Amino acid sequence: MGAAMTKLNLLVALALVFGFADKTLAEDAHAVKPPKQMKWSWDGPFGQFDRQQLQRGYQVYKEVCASCHSMHLVSFRNLSQPGGPEFSEAQMKAIAAGVQINTLDDKGEAFDDKGVALQRPGTAADRFPSPFSNELAARAANNNAYPPDLSVITKARPDGSNYVYSLLTGYSDPPAKFELLPGLYYNAHFPNHQIAMPQPLATDDQVTYAPNAGNPAATIDQMAKDVTAFLTWAGEPKMEERKQMGVKVIIFLVLLAALLYTAYRQLWKDVDH
Amino acid sequence: MAHGNYSYKPTNAFMKWLDSRLPIVRLVDESVLKFPTPKNLNMWFTFGGILTFMLAVQIVSGIVLAMHYVPHETQAFDSVERIMRDVNYGWLLRYMHSNGASMFFIAVYLHIFRGLYYGSFKAPREVLWLLGIVIYLLMMATGFLGYTLPWGQMSFWGATVITNFFSAIPLVGESITQWLWGSFAVDNTTLQRFFSLHYLLPFVIAGVVVLHIWALHVPGNNNPLGIDVKGPQDTVPFHPYYTTKDGFWIALFLIVFAYFIFFNPNFLGHADNYVPANRLVTPAHIVPEWYYLPLYAILRSVPDKLIGVILMISAILIWALLPWLDTSRVRSNNFRPIMKQLFWILIVVIFLLGYLGAQTADDSNLVFFGAELPIGKLLLSQLLTFYYFAHFLVITPIVGLWETPNPVPESISKAVLAKKNGGAVPVAAE
Ligand code: HEM
């Protein structure tokens, strides 16, 4: 599903690849560079997420992206559900408790008598808190650009998983003569090649992965892959359940079709048609 | 004609009692189970059954979705996502419903073009054909209304573009549009009434389907040879012959449906509809669902909005004239060497229009598989639109008079027997 392109984008991509590739793209420095085509563990009808990768991806989201981007459709409890990062119940509760959530007191007040927002530790049922209280505040802090909610971002962009990975690893110096507007950054995968998001993953080891067996080095590329995996899961948390059921349903339907076919041939044997 | 030698005989005292008071079992027995059906129907004739099945799928999944869906501009988008995440098998319901709509339209297009090819619209089936057009129009409306409900960017902007068609009507257009919106723009009031109507229309469709099937049961099914049923030797009872045969094709159809639901659920949709509706940001490229694309191309082929809208509506309504525009004595294109080819040309034209409907609305040259064609998109869509209408208004009546059809077999049973023995098909005496 992550690698799925809408038919329209397939056409656009075809037009880009065949139509403009040799001439227009070279001329027009603003044409969007198509996403890199990656191999993901969740591709294909039997694809699954890599639990360790989702756990690392959550860490990248929490330590880097969450300072600008909300994910308001995801709850802490999702982190320990089957088909996801599958943190243990205790780990998930500890993660939730480590986050402060705005709350109301008995009288329904949201602030104490000094005007400070009342807060409590998070619980499994809480959704991920948003870094800004509203869109205006988010824009004010981000050069008037709005960091979109990332809950369904991989479904909200064509070829979403590949796109997010390509965007995160697509920062570079602008080509000569490119006029970059102040406060924007050059990224060939973004429309018009200028994005208001500063390169979020800029140095290796920006996030310190636990020295678990099997955890790779936290290179920029690895962090980008891991957070892409996490965002893909967050957009489609029932993907594994869906594909597993799909395999069973297709097998059932093939058997049913075979049975009906035999019945129909048997019945029609003596009818000229 | 559909008069078989079958009649219903109640088997016990209770059934006799019921039959003399409410002959419902008789109705089912005579009009479904024993209904005499031509024995030469091919797979293209199973789409009626598939459509009935898909209508049931949409109604059942839709009713359960409606139990969890919140028709409010601030909550609709999140409520659909909550269905996908927190409702038991909600993802299944939602993907069944959204892909079900596409499968429904695939089936209805195959069903309609089957009718076109085999001349099923010709006498005595005109009313059946007209009711089919009514169903198709209602489906278009239902699909459009449903697509607004998740309240993503395409929902909102699609609704804005489509409702704006009405503003093309001279004098009263503006008032009609605002009356539809219930407001001065597409907003919460619009969403709520669209939800109400989206819930209503499928049941209206179900009602018209009953009329459609009733109108089918008077003359009986058409068939690939396009000739009338001459007697019981030409038919078999619907059950068990066609229940198993259609059942097999429905199972194959469901495999395709299941592929989309389980392995590629967003392929037929548009990524922008996972971005919540935002009236301040217009998407770079507003495209309708794939099933409207040929009509969308016709709409955009003329710069004048009113004429575009009239052309688009006429493109469907013209089908209603077809029984009277087609002058041929013969129904099935199997016996019409010229019309058969023109049929396939029409299909290609409609596909090309669909392709153009998905392109950006500018007059650049068409780029097709790498090659820049020396023709502007606008000009090409004008030519194709012109051909589309010419096919029905000019070509169909003229070819029907001028073409000499191949000889038509005398009866279904003789034709199938000849086919079995590998001999020549006996021809009806002129
Ligand atoms: C002719 C049959 C029907 C068709 C063609 C149809 C089509 C659609 C479409 C295209 C959508 C948008 C799907 C998406 O992109 O998410 C939709 C959504 C919806 N429909 Fe229907 N529908 C039908 C029948 C019904 C019925 C009978 C009901 C209710 C009783 C219903 C309730 C809903 C609801 C609640 C939604 C919003 C949830 C969602 O977007 O998934 N539908 N419908």
Q: Where are the domains of chain A?
A: 31-74+127-259
Q: Categorize the per-residue pLDDT at B419 as very low, low, confident or very high, splitting at 50, 70 and 90.
A: confident
| Model pLDDT, residue A7 | 42
pLDDT of B382 reads: 95
Give the residue carrying structure tokens 């070819």: B399
Is residue B119 one of the residues assigned to a domain?
Answer: yes
Tens of pLDDT, residues A156-181: 999 999 999 999 999 999 998 899 99
Neighbour count for residue B89 (Cβ, 10 Å): 14
Q: Is residue B238 part of a domain?
A: yes
Q: What is the pLDDT of residue A270?
A: 84
Amino acid at A236: E
**pTM as predicted:** 0.91
Q: Please calculate the CA angle B6-B7-B13 and round it to the nearest 5 degrees.
A: 145
Q: Is the CB of B148 under 6 A from ligand 1?
A: no
The total number of structural domains in chain B stands at 1
Tens of pLDDT, residue by residue over A76-123, are 999 999 999 999 999 999 999 999 999 998 888 989 889 888 999 999
Q: Is the pLDDT of residue A5 over 60?
A: no
In this prediction, residue A27 carries a pLDDT of: 39
Structural domain includes residue B21: no
Q: Which of A29-57 are b and which e, b meaning 16 or more Cβ less than 10 Å from the residue's Cβ?
A: eebbebbeeeebebeeeebebbebbbbbb
Mean pLDDT of B67-75: 97
Q: What domain range includes position B187?
A: 35-421
Residues B130-144, mean pLDDT to the nearest whole number: 98
Residue B297: the pLDDT is 95
Position B3 scores a pLDDT of 45
Give B152-197 pLDDT, tens digit per residue: 999 999 999 999 999 999 999 999 999 999 999 999 999 999 999 9
**What is chain B's mean pLDDT, rounded?**
93
What residues 126-165 of chain A have any CB closer than 8 A to a CB of chain B? 148, 151-152, 155-158, 160
The answer to the question of residue B387 being in a domain is yes
Cβ <8 Å between A6 and B265? no
- Type of residue numbered A224: A
Q: Is the CB of B102 under 6 A from ligand 1?
A: no
pLDDT digits (tens, 9 = 90+) for A199-257: 999 999 999 998 877 899 999 999 999 999 999 999 999 999 999 999 999 999 999 99
Question: Angle of helix A220-235 relative to helix A160-168, nearest 10 degrees?
Answer: 150
Given a cut of 70, is residue A56 above it in pLDDT? yes
pLDDT the model gives residue A4 = 39
Q: Is B217 contained in some domain?
A: yes
Segment B290-295 mean pLDDT: 96
Instruction: Write down the pLDDT at residue B148.
Output: 97
Per CATH, the number for A31-74+127-259 is 1.10.760.10
Ligand 1 atom nearest to CA at B202: 1
Task: Choose, out of B84, B155, B274, the residue to mutate when testing the contact with A (most A CBs < 10 Å).
Answer: B274
Tell me the per-residue pLDDT of A111-154, one tens digit each, with 9 for 90 and over.
988 988 899 999 999 999 999 989 999 999 998 999 999 999 99
Q: Which residue has the higher pLDDT, B284 or B14?
A: B14
pLDDT at residue A16 greater than cutoff 70: no
Give the whole-number percent of chain A exceeding pLDDT 90: 77
| Ligand 1 atom closest to B66 (CA) | 35
Identify the closest residue of chain A to B418 by CA–CA distance.
A272
User: What SS3 state is found at B130?
Assistant: helix
Domain harbouring B346, CATH code: 1.20.810.10
The ipTM of this complex is 0.90
DSSP state of A207: S
> Who's near A259: CB < 8 A, 6+ residues apart?
none
**A27 or B399: which carries more pLDDT confidence?**
B399
Strands in B129-265 per DSSP E: 235-237
pLDDT recorded at residue A66? 96
Asked whether B427 and B406 are in contact (CB, 8 A), the reply is no
Residues of chain B with Cβ-Cβ distance to A148 below 8 Å are 275
Quote the strand ranges of A97-220, DSSP E: 100-102, 119-121, 185-186, 194-195
Which residues lie closer than 8 Å to A133 by C-beta, 6 or more apart? Answer: none
User: A3 pLDDT band (50/70/90 cuts)?
Assistant: very low
From residue A36, how far is each of A39, A151, B255, B314, B370 by CA, in Å? 10, 22, 31, 44, 20
Q: What is the pLDDT of residue A12?
A: 42
